[in-house]
Structures are given as C-alpha cells and as structure tokens.
Amino acid sequence: ASIDPPPGGATFGVGESITVTGSGTDLDEGTIPPGRLHWTVLLHHDVHTHPFQSGTGAGITFAAPAPEDLAAAANSFLEVHLQAEDSGGLFSTDVRLDLQPRKRDVTLSSVPAGARLTVNGEGVTAPATFVSWEGWGLALGAPDQVLADGRKLAFSSWSDGGAREHLVATPAADLARTATFSVAGSALHVVAPCRAADTRTSGG
C-alpha cells in the first residue's frame, strides 16, 4: 500500500475538508482495486488514540476535527492508515501518514490582572497563554467576580468589542484578547486597633 502526499500539505485547520488518496499493488494481481483499499483515521492524543473515521476506496475524505479540549490541543494530531488487501484476503503492511494541526498561541489578559476568565467552559486565570488550532471556535467568557483581596470586578468590555460571552474563531496567526472590568470595593483591609507610633513623652 502507498499513500499519496496530500496536495495541500500535511497540515490542517479545524473544519477543513481533507482528502487523502492512495493505491496498492500485488506481485500476482498488479494494481489492487479500490474496494480492497482499507482506510483508518485516528485522532492521536498524547499517548493514546481515538477512532475518527474509516472506509474503503481510492481515497478518504473527512472534515478536520477540533481538539478534545484546551489541554489536548498541545499534543494531538491525526493519523491516516492504509492497508491493501489481495484477492486471497491477505493484508499488506500498514502505511501511515500524520496530519498536524496548524497551532496558534492564544493569550488572554485582564484589566486588572488576575481575573478569572473562561474558554469553552474551562476556567483560566489571566494572563494565560494556551495552544489553539486554526479555525477552532473559542467561547470566551468574562464573569463578574470577587478577587482574593476583596475587590469586586464587573465586566466592562473585551478588546475586540465582543459581548461578555462571545465566540472567536482562531485565525491564521497568534491571537490576543483582553477583558476589562470595573472595580468596586477596596484592596485595604480593616485591622484591629494598634499603636503605629509611640507619642508618649518620657515624663508620661
């Protein structure tokens, strides 16, 4: 079995249509018919894989998936496998092509710093930088909150003009967004009375 190099290269963005073609030959039969070319596509995540798609034919076409979650975006990719089957039911050695996502860095900041933001339902503390895939939709959120020092943050705006919760498609470049909050309350804390300076005279 043999896999042809993808015409668009071995990288992808989320949602892109990918077609991979291949062929098979046998010493006795010559060219293997398409119906006996067996394809398997796996989503490889860290040290394990997930079944994604399979089929038979001269090629296989599928829409590129998104990563499972934020953590998986850093170490996931697609494996495309092909085996040819001869007329006697014997299978060739498996051949494999790896397709890598086009990765982009996404940086989220807040004013003031240290606010808790959400990305696709997962919480992050700004400033935070994580890996995304080109074309992946990121649901950004900026909830009202109270910081550890007692300041109350109320959402004011995103740097892209989006609503408190809005969707951003990862572009063909690194992405940066900042959430701005209005601040209420004080970072000062009430303490018990104490003597800051001794103002007594030596004579009492």
The per-residue pLDDT for range 71-86, each reduced to its tens digit, is: 999 999 999 999 999 9
Average pLDDT over residues 52-61: 97
Please, which residues bridge with residue 33 across strands? none
pLDDT given at position 60: 97
Least confident of 3-17, 112-126, 131-145, 174-188: 174-188
Please, which residues bridge with residue 108 across strands? 128, 177
- The residue with tokens 């959402």 is 155
The answer, yes or no, to whether residue 187 has pLDDT greater than 80, is: no
Whether the CB-CB separation of 37 and 81 falls below 8 Å is answered with no
State the pLDDT confidence band at 189, using cuts at 50, 70 and 90.
Answer: low
pLDDT given at position 111: 97
pLDDT given at position 185: 66
pLDDT given at position 34: 97
The answer, yes or no, to whether residue 204 has pLDDT greater than 60, is: no
